[in-house]
Amino acid sequence: MPERISFQDEIEKNKIKSFLLIAIIFVFFIVLGYVISLVLDPSYFFIIMIFSIIFSLIYVLAGYYNSDKIAIASVRAKPASRTEHRALFNAAEGISLASGLPMPRLYVMDSEEINAFASGRDPKNAVLCFTTGALKKLNKQELEGVVAHEMSHIANYDIRFMTLTVVLIGMVSIIAQMFLRSLWFSGGRDERDGRAQLVLILIGILFAILAPIASQLVSFAISRKREYAVDASGVKFTRFPPGLANALRKIKGEHVREESRPRISKAMAPLFISDPFKKKVQNLFSTHPPIDDRIKKLEAM
């Protein structure tokens, strides 16, 4: 008999891990800035920092405040029909009552795969989008489990959290790019010892190349941890772990032809309940944890 897992403990544990991972990205940002300040003139470095922060914030906030519209448009989803998609409306209304969240706007995208995603900057501006395959293949309890999972993303303000991640990664990438480009036009500080300066430049180049990659890997790790937390939050709303667990089993077991899969931007992948690109091998670049691990955790709740 496996040891029982408290969904509350699982939620808190994964939230702490997510914030620690965010802190790691912030450390990359600070260390990269420090390394660059050793190579370049400090005043020049602060100019780079200011421009990168302003550009990242403008770019990401524009997407953040329109995240629901952008997400829906990118998958060519259409508003759900209360008559044609009655089961989806019933499930969403039920979870809305159980969670105390406002009823999200519902959309349906054309795809034979079982999948769904939530978007929106806050509960009042949230949308849920389900594939036609999910609505056909999931029974009542499974559909409620997936709806609860997606509404947990809304309740946990995951779009806001991931936006912070994107801002930090954006700033790291912009600073790294500006530093690498500046080396073409500057030889560094003339008064420094030539050999020491060369070593610093090489360290700066290496870190400028690796920091954005490492930050992106951390963001994927955050995405995986958030999925565990949201699975647990979904159970809090339904009080029925088998619903979501059985839905995940169906997702794992389905076989959809490659040509029938919709074209989805890779930037959208972390939003879905399962990886829409169906990677066969889990690695550091995976946006979702292994489905078997998620099922095991749900079975132990």
Would you name the residues annotated as active-site residues?
150
3-state DSSP assignment of residue 130: strand
Q: DSSP characters for 138-182?
A: --HHHHHHHHHHHHHHHHTTHHHHHHHHHHHHHHHHHHHHHHHHH
3-state DSSP assignment of residue 89: helix
Q: What is the DSSP letter of 85?
A: T
Tokens 């699975």 belong to 231
CA 133 to chain centre: 23
Residues contacting 109, CB < 8 A, separation 6+? 75, 76, 77, 78, 129, 130, 131, 132, 262
Whole-Å CA distances, 182 to 36, 185, 210, 214: 11, 5, 17, 22
